[in-house]
Structure 1
């Protein structure tokens, strides 16, 4: 009974949960907070009334931004028992078939009529509705309901829903990766619970979150990131429990070469010394102009008339407070650097064994140097997957891997997806579809990959297209 109660609570919306709002084909990821006003599709809403309801519930947006669970739809507008025409050849779209004007519709809205009731009024005041075929009538009703119904659906976040959200709203952030491409990457990478996966992701953290979701909080995920820090905006939208984050580790890609050569500790000590000396130098440069200004002013400005000696107590108190603040800031920075060092050492301990179970790369940077550096941490007979928006960088990766050996089953594929409308007597492909979902290079490692350096083949990138930026596996993080 306790387990069933816990499962039921997981299916209900709670305060603090991360959810996805859906209206039509528009998605938005938000966090449920009481008495907080949210903007969605040019409307202000409150999610207070959604707390306690089940996920995937459809709500009606009332006046004032409140939500109310939608009641079961009335079937009065169904065309099953209404007369319909045989074809639409005699219907002329001259804009005169509808008796209701825009002002009349606004008046109906002010009276409090809901979307379905407004649609019924439009049907009754249309002179051509009964002459349309049954299919055209259904299409008309669905179109008007979509326009006038103020409904919103609250969904539980998942990698498919978030991938659709990013691809529909901000595809550039995820390098135009479609959700079917993401699904292929997880399958080709053999992502499962209990495995150790390396992820290099600059696609807003979407791929990293999808890997963590597939692993279910069991195993280890090492996020390799470029200088500046890891990006995890997409991971936060998943709303993972706390134990999921305990499996997540991070390691800067600029220290990969030092780790492979066994001099990571010395590199970290050097970076800490450089940071400390830089901080001291900045402080000296800040103090020097003040001293110089004081000397200049004392030499050029004549001595003023002697004033009564001020009380030195407030000045000493202020200087003492400033010194205390500086010490506190220095101590906090030292603690942060120590925590960061511990995280790096913990992630390095996972990488030193070179026994990772999989590697996934999805980045706007050039993947070739990243792949050749990180593939050395994989155990034999383990898969790796590389995603790129363009095929030319993956062709270069394919060529390099073929030259140096150590991999089998190399495959470069183009993901393709087409939606179909499946309805009685009118199943057909949807007219509008995505032009491309990117390219995937996949393969499997074998024992003894040789780290060779071959000449780079000429890229077949189109003229004017920017070349992906190349990352170095050495150097400082800054």
Structure 2
């Protein structure tokens, strides 16, 4: 029985969990915190009542408080059975609805819920019973979206978060669509126990998806540009603590030094040290003269009265704060050095099992540098919103050798409405899901010159773009 309760707790919402709110096709990632107001789709409410409920539960919002939605009443749907044969005699002139906007607002003030308001709209519509059964369902669905104050709480996953980012802020994830992300994880052969290199600027979505697929087993090395890694999307997954033990980080600017064997991980980072010294000098310069030397009033008081005890106490406090800041910077620098050394030790073996690249930077130099860390017969995949950078990568890889099974693909996705007697493609669809370059590394014979190896390989006559329907 204890095992069953433990399994059941995995599917229940707990305080501190990261969850995804859903209404229709709109998603939002939040954290469950006590007495914290959440605003979603122009409505505010508290998530306290969601604690202990099952994931994928739907709640009604009543005066800012979540209440579990009761099972739907099937009696109200019996009236909808009376339907017309076609809609040819229905004219949309705006006169079919007897209730005005003021009447609807009055119903809301009386405390009527969304389902009750919809029922009133149906009863006061002169054309509802003349519509076909499909048109009635469409009418009810449209009114539910407008008047029902419901929200569904979902457990975060790479598919849900990819849909959320693509629907709300596609620019943050380089317009990476969720079907393209799924193909990346498959083509890179992401699985538990492997060692994967990830270079991405998609707010941590690709990194979190790789970690989710690996299940906390193995190692992920995030190659990051700039001063530090960006992992906003990883937090939204709400991984357990042991998932972060497998995550390592390595700056992309030190790759060439690591390959050349000149990277010194025991010494302090010279770039960071120079930055900290310049920041300390700026802080001293920016300090007001009153703090450095004391104000004229304080100087006069010291000379006149000789009571400098308060001034000395303030000076000691400033020195203590400065020492605490210096100690904190030193600890952070030491921690960063340890992380750099641990990641460098993993990379020095050059035995990584996979490489995933998805960034706004030009992928060619990044790909050529990171491919050297892969073992032979290991997959790699590169994503780009545009095909021209990947064509350049394709040409460079063919010239250099060391890779096989190169494919440049364009993913295409279209949703279908699947309902009885009315299955058809949805009219609105995504314009494009980006492009993927995938391939496999091979062991090159270093005794032969690169030119002779290229001559043995048959040169491709033309570049083939294969369309894959998702």
TM over 0.5: yes
Q: 1:112 to 1:272 in 2, by over 3 A?
A: closer
Deviation (angstroms), 1:331: 1.2
Question: Deviations 1:322-349 (Å, cap 9, x if unpaired)?
Answer: 1222111111111110000000000001
Partner of 2:369: 373
Matched, 1:414 2:410: yes
Distance 1:306 1:398 in 2: 75
**5+ residue gaps, structure 2:** 452-470
Say which of 394, 401, 404 aligns to 1:405: 401
Partner of 1:101: 100
Q: 1:424 to 1:156 in 2, by over 3 A?
A: same
Q: Indicate the SS of the match to 1:316.
A: helix
Deviation (angstroms), 1:282: 4.1
Distance 1:429 1:136 in 2: 18
Deviation (angstroms), 1:270: 3.4
Distance 2:79 2:95 in 1: 26
Matched, 1:241 2:237: no
Distance 1:279 1:109 in 2: 58
Matched, 1:383 2:379: yes
Deviation (angstroms), 1:80: 7.5
Q: 1:81 to 1:169 in 2, by over 3 A?
A: closer
Q: Is the 8 A contact 1:354 1:378 kept in 2?
A: yes
Distance 1:68 1:361 in 2: 43
1:65-104, aligned counterparts within 5 Å?
65-78=64-77, 82-104=81-103
Q: Is the 8 A contact 1:202 1:363 kept in 2?
A: yes
Deviation (angstroms), 1:173: 0.2
Distance 1:286 1:180 in 2: 52
Distance 1:252 1:73 in 2: 54
Q: Is the 8 A contact 1:59 1:70 kept in 2?
A: yes
Partner of 1:396: 392
Q: 1:365 to 1:269 in 2, by over 3 A?
A: closer
Partner of 2:11: 11
**TM-score normalised over the length of structure 2:** 0.90
1:420-459, aligned counterparts within 5 Å?
420-448=416-444
Question: Deviations 1:113-145 (Å, cap 9, x if unpaired)?
Answer: 111111111111111111111111111111112
Q: 1:275 to 1:452 in 2, by over 3 A?
A: farther
Deviation (angstroms), 1:304: 9.2
Q: 1:426 to 1:271 in 2, by over 3 A?
A: same
Q: 1:8 to 1:284 in 2, by over 3 A?
A: closer
Partner of 2:125: 126
Partner of 1:324: 320
Q: 1:219 to 1:139 in 2, by over 3 A?
A: same
Distance 1:449 1:6 in 2: 54
Distance 2:356 2:16 in 1: 31
Distance 2:302 2:10 in 1: 76
Q: Is the 8 A contact 2:217 2:246 kept in 1?
A: yes
Matched, 1:203 2:199: no
Deviation (angstroms), 1:285: 5.2
Deviation (angstroms), 1:201: 1.1
Partner of 2:58: 58
**TM-score normalised over the length of structure 1:** 0.88
Q: 1:91 to 1:261 in 2, by over 3 A?
A: same
Partner of 1:347: 343
Q: Indicate the SS of the match to 2:372.
A: helix
Question: Deviations 1:338-389 (Å, cap 9, x if unpaired)?
Answer: 0000000000010000000000001001111110011100000000010011
Partner of 2:113: 114
Q: 1:283 to 1:130 in 2, by over 3 A?
A: closer
Q: After TM superposition, what 4+ stretches of structure 1 lie above 6 angstroms from structure 2?
A: 303-307, 449-453
Partner of 1:358: 354
- Out of 240-249 and 133-142, give the one that drifted further: 133-142
- Out of 272-281 and 79-88, give the one that drifted further: 272-281
**5+ residue gaps, structure 1:** 454-478
Q: Is the 8 A contact 1:118 1:148 kept in 2?
A: yes
Distance 2:440 2:70 in 1: 53
Distance 2:389 2:436 in 1: 11
- Out of 24-33 and 73-82, give the one that drifted further: 73-82
Q: Please give the root-mean-square deviation of Cα atoms over the aligned residues, in Å.
A: 2.5
Q: Indicate the SS of the match to 1:85.
A: coil
Distance 1:365 1:306 in 2: 60
Partner of 2:164: 165
Q: Is the 8 A contact 1:22 1:155 kept in 2?
A: yes
Q: Is the 8 A contact 1:406 1:449 kept in 2?
A: no
Distance 1:281 1:117 in 2: 68
- Matched positions, count: 445
Q: Indicate the SS of the match to 1:227.
A: coil
